[in-house]
Structure 1
Amino acid sequence: MASEAAHAVVATPAPPPSLTNSAKNKQNHRQEWPYGNYRSYYSFRSGTTQPDAPPADQLDGRLSLLDPALFREKTLLDIGTNSGKIALDALLLLGARAVAGVDIDPLLIEDARKAALERGLAHDDPRVEFRQANVMEEGWFERFEPSVGKVDVVTLFSITKWLHLHNGDEGMRRLFRSLHTFLPTDGVVIVEPQEWDNYKRAVKRNKDLRETFKTLELRPPFDAEMREVGFVLEEQIEREEGGFSRPLLVWRKVKRAV
């Protein structure tokens, strides 16, 4: 059991390095500020280990397992959006009304905006927004006013490990509380939690995360914590995909009994 004092230890991210158009700057970006999944992460999520990226208009394998009605005519917030593929697939292939993608890494937001243009969307399309942001900042959800309108669905795909390692147990509890307050009744959170062994591999690669890791008492998939704030598990999809073995958990905010 970690001591109470240890709970205060969290790995606060340094400000991102300034970005330029130089190849050297972009190449060194991850080395200077390693935070989250690598660039082109979704190129390797097509169900194979082939190095070639799947076509941009090929639906992400995880989305293909979910009921399209979760997204149809809904507004999506994709947290840890990376290259924006989940958000763009939901908009262009699943009939979402609008999408917003946020990521702490400005270089990935740059990639997502470029991907939107490459998929035929105008730079000022009112249905899509990509924004650099740290959703784990206290009060962020209360301040967040997406240009695409009120959010109905939130996705957390392959991001909970990083949020947990950088923000500790209390950061995750605050996130779940904030999501429940942020979403309307009948709103949905879809989580792809990374397994505990995956945490251990991340900590081996980044020694700066070790102190926070030692304090963690919560464990994925955070079922008890989601239920505690008021979400109900609607569906759990077990799957194997290209070396990744993680469930998809569909949580819904239901109206509390009076």
Structure 2
Amino acid sequence: MASSSSTVPIYGNYHGYYAKRPSVRDPRLALLPSTIFSGARVLDVGCNEGWVTCEIAQSWGAHKVVGVDIDESLIRAAWRRRRTVWSLQQPAMDEDALRVADTGSRKRRREPSPATPRLQPDYFPLSCEHEFGSLPVPPSDIRGRHVFPHNLSFRTADWVATRIPEDAERYNVVVAFSITKWIHLNGGDEALKAFFQRIFDVLEPGGTFVLEPQAWDTYAKAKRMDERLKENAKTLKIRPDDFESILGLIGFGPAQHFGVTGEGGFRRPVDLCSVEGEAKKDVDLANLLCRSFFIIAFAITFPRQDDMKMTNHPIGFLHTGTFRERATFYSGRRGPHHRVRLARKDATAVI
């Protein structure tokens, strides 16, 4: 799936999406526990124009929020949304004003609750930005790296197939609102399962996956957008009702269902699946053991340096002399299925 700004939203990359859902406060977030994002590293996959992403970063006390979308023009709109939300926010008071606002107490001032920030989000009307433009965002050393808007960034990427730098840190929460249908129609059953697996892989032990699955009957209209989607739809065996069992097989705990929100075609459930801490540690340990086995097997079968010549080969080296000019590596995603095959002139050793 390549990055796209196509006028036909075959990836669900609707432009003006929030004109259809104009609420400043997203009702899907309102269904969730109030502390779910507090102090968390959050990934919003398929963030569109960034409205939900901005709300999480500004009003829910998140430590760091990353929004990713396949459509570059939507990401540009998300950065603009970040500036708009910042411009309409109540200005921060200086220290003298804060001391007065604290009603003269001699006690040390407490920080505001992350879920209920001191600064009012919609302090200024939108007309102010229309008339005067967006306010400049101050340098991060003035307001702090983990305070809005500095705790929020966006990236253009097909996250289903491409890693982003922030993935290395892992996340406490991954949000996927209204995107499973598009991943499913574009990549089939395997792409959807790979997406769920990737989310499991980048979540910390105890992390949370927030999912808004789209109903099967909504696929019919979507597949008519493009002939390829129509053909892919014929091969689909997985249904949205199967998602919970698939997530369970991957390693997620039982889903919590937080009801249905929205109106008309936007009435969908919001589910919350957590990564069981011990289960996640077991999977991580298994992956580590598999990688260790791979390295040991490679070391055992790797030739001595005087038996080979190092050259610029696509995989980093080229066997010459007693080895053929190839080395093939196999790896499986689950369990200890890693193996190495080094092809010799006279034999093939499989570990």
Which TM class, normalised by the smaller chain length? 0.7 to 0.9
The 3 A distance-change label for structure 1 pair 126 and 240 is closer
Does the 8 A contact of 1:189 with 1:252 survive in 2?
yes
* 1:209 Cα deviation after fit: 0.5
Separation in 2, partners of 1:191, 1:197 = 18
* 1:179 Cα deviation after fit: 1.3
247, 252, 263: which one aligns with 1:242: 263
1:39 and 2:15 aligned: yes
Tell me how many residue pairs correspond in the alignment.
Answer: 220
Equivalent residue for 1:223?
244
Equivalent residue for 2:276?
254
* 1:187 Cα deviation after fit: 0.5
Does the 8 A contact of 1:126 with 1:147 survive in 2?
no
The 3 A distance-change label for structure 1 pair 239 and 177 is same
Equivalent residue for 2:254?
233
One-letter identity of the residue aligned with 2:74:
L
Give the SS at the match of 2:68.
strand
| Deviation per residue, 1:158-216 (Å, 9 max, x gap) | 01100111111111111111211211100110000000011111012322201111111
Runs of 4+ in 1 over 6 A off after TM superposition: none
TM-score, normalised via structure 1 length:
0.78
Give the SS at the match of 1:239.
strand
1:73 and 2:61 aligned: no
Separation in 1, partners of 2:160, 2:165 = 16
Does the 8 A contact of 2:11 with 2:183 survive in 1?
no
111, 135, 140: which one aligns with 2:77: 111
* 1:123 Cα deviation after fit: 8.3
The 3 A distance-change label for structure 1 pair 123 and 82 is farther
What root-mean-square deviation, in Å, do the aligned CA atoms of Structure 1 and Structure 2 show? 2.2
* 1:148 Cα deviation after fit: 11
Highest RCO, 1 vs 2 (Cα 8 Å, sep ≥ 6): 1
Provide structure 1 residue ranges, at least 5 long, that are not aligned to the other structure: 1-11, 18-28, 46-52
The 3 A distance-change label for structure 1 pair 87 and 102 is same
Separation in 2, partners of 1:210, 1:131 = 29
Separation in 2, partners of 1:200, 1:210 = 9
Equivalent residue for 1:25?
none
* 1:133 Cα deviation after fit: 0.3
Give the SS at the match of 1:169.
helix
Separation in 1, partners of 2:58, 2:180 = 25
TM-score, normalised via structure 2 length:
0.58
The 3 A distance-change label for structure 1 pair 218 and 158 is same
How many percent of aligned residue pairs carry the same amino acid?
32
